[in-house]
A and B are shown apart, each in its own frame.
Chain A
Amino acid sequence: MSLRIYAFAYLIFLYAPILLLPLFAFNDATVIAFPLSGFTTDWFARLAETRALHDAVRNSLFIAVMTALFSTILGVCAARAGAMSHFPGKRGIMGLIMIPLVLPEIIVAVALLVVMVQVLGLGLSNWTIIFAHTLICTPFSVAILNGAFQNLDPAMEEAALDLGETRWSAFRLVILPLVTPGIVSSLLISFTISLDEFIIAFFLTGANPTMPVYIWSLLRFPASVPVVMALGTILVALSVLLLTIAEIFRRRGLARAGVKDTGGFL
């Protein structure tokens, strides 16, 4: 019983910052502190007028979509290869692909900054961020897609091949539909990670800031903080929506593969 109370208290601890967000987003004061003063939707109206924010959002969306596509493609390759057979060096190869999961992000950031600017002499652009985000999102894609691919019954593909399908058409007609929920889930998760990522983007951002980099610049000016709260409220609502969809697809995928659910995304 006390364990249950503890677990609920822990949930409150986890949700405390998010629950405060809408309070201040609709609060009629520039100072982010209690007591609240009154209700307003001005901060949301301000969001609609800020051109710099729109540009930053557009950049971030482009980066997040590209990252989602690339990391899911790489994730499909790795997860499919990992499920198919044991090949020499598998542990090491998979280990290297998964390492960004535990690597401090600042290491990825400075390493890519050095290579892009000092070694290759290239400028920074949205593409440098896309490359970096693809690197850190791929392990998440692999983890999600592993669940989808490892639960496939190899007999289904064999049956398709025996019935005269080619390797590719068997993959497209038999395997792909079975792992589609995993793919959708992987796309959504890597999209969410990329959209929110700041530590790397701050190092690699070029002339055009991404949304988190823009938020960071706003946080330095107390007057613009309520606008950030409004933006944050929208972002939280959006990511809860995306994650719920991702979770539904992930569960549907597991159900389709006929296995018991063992846990979350990680």
Chain B
Amino acid sequence: MKHPEMARGALTADQKRSMALVAPPFLYAIALLAVPVGAILLFSFWTQDFMDVDTTFTLNNYREIADQPIYGALLGRSLWVALCVTAVTVITAFPVAYFISFHVRSERKSLWLFLITIPFWTSYLIRVFLWKVILGYNGVINSSLLQVGLIEEPLTFILYNVNAVVITLSHAFAPFAILPIYVALEKIDRSLLEAARDLGEGVIRTFTRVTLPLAMPGVVAAVLIVFIPVIGDYVTPELMGGAGGKLIANMIQTQFLALNNAPLGAALAIVAMAMVTAVALLFVFLNRRWLRGRE
């Protein structure tokens, strides 16, 4: 925003230098992201013909996805799991972010944030596996509940089903939800809250009418950064989901690596991406309307 008037005319020396500098990462992203994603889009309109790929344009892969109930079921379940994980993660993370922003002394804040991010950086596979140990038939939860005498039989609804997948993924994505919400809460001008209280609003009304709307950009960022990547995880459903908890990413993986049907796998990847992007955009749109409605 330093030289808005110059952006229209000739480029300044600084602008030229910036553009030269940004070129390598930009070209890298084009070559290794935009082009490959374009390639799978193209692939999804081709078909696997035994060992070769038949390059005649066809919608057969998409037709197969629409016709075979298994794909619809997997997509539906994946969407449901992604929505649950997002809801659970964001709702449980919000109070933590709120606590750090409003109740922790400022010199201790970075320590809290550091503590929250550490588990996220440690071996993902092993963390997922340990959830199996925690939730399993002879697991931590069951053996301690049996010991205390709260239950007679080990609980079985917490492993090898969708619940287990949701719990594990909520754990994996926790920092992704906490940090953006925290950043948004930190930006709130504290005098606005005082003003609301002085004008006679209660604690809850101050929260719903001032804090929450102002924190919404952080909540939206948290929702997007949890909801979209969840669809791409096949480790957690594979280890935790059992037979009834497999998701679309497992099917994409199977098509590519086991069945050697890259075009169908590509079409599934495109459909899954389109689905989450559509839901994410809908959410952003609804949130805008809600915030505008409040003004």
| A residues whose Cβ falls under 8 Å from a Cβ of B | 3-4, 6-7, 10-11, 13-18, 20-21, 24, 31-35, 73-75, 77-78, 80-82, 84-88, 90, 93-94, 96-97, 99-108, 110-115, 118-119, 131-132, 134-135, 138, 142, 189, 192-193, 196-199, 203, 212, 215-216, 219, 225, 228-229, 231-232, 235-236, 239-240, 243, 247, 251, 261-266
4 cross-chain pairs, A with B, having the tightest CB-CB distances, nearest first: A104-B232, A111-B36, A17-B130, A81-B22
Instruction: List 19 additional contacts besides A104-B249, A138-B25, A247-B110; criterion CB under 8 Å.
Output: A14-B119, A77-B24, A78-B21, A82-B22, A85-B12, A85-B15, A87-B18, A96-B26, A96-B30, A100-B33, A102-B225, A114-B266, A196-B121, A196-B122, A199-B233, A235-B123, A243-B117, A264-B116, A266-B179
**C-alpha spacing A266/B273, complex, angstroms:** 23
| B residues whose Cβ falls under 8 Å from a Cβ of A | 1-4, 7, 11-12, 14-15, 17-19, 21-26, 28-30, 32-37, 39-40, 43, 53, 92, 95-96, 98-100, 103, 109-110, 113-119, 121-127, 129-131, 133-134, 136, 138-140, 143-144, 171, 174-176, 179-180, 182-183, 186, 224-225, 228-235, 239, 249, 252-253, 256-257, 262, 265-266, 269, 272-273, 276
CB-nearest residue of chain B to A75: B25
Given A75-B25, A81-B21, A110-B256, residue A235 in contact with residue B40 (CB < 8 A): no
A39 to chain B, nearest CB (A): 18
CB-nearest residue of chain B to A247: B114
**C-alpha spacing A114/B37, complex, angstroms:** 9
**C-alpha spacing A33/B140, complex, angstroms:** 8
A20: chain B residues within 8 A (beta carbon) = 130, 133-134, 140
A263: chain B residues within 8 A (beta carbon) = 109-110, 113, 179, 182-183, 186
CB-nearest residue of chain B to A96: B29
**C-alpha spacing A225/B239, complex, angstroms:** 14
Task: Determine whether the beta carbon of B229 is less than 8 Å from that of A105.
Answer: yes
Task: Determine whether the beta carbon of B40 is less than 8 Å from that of A219.
Answer: no
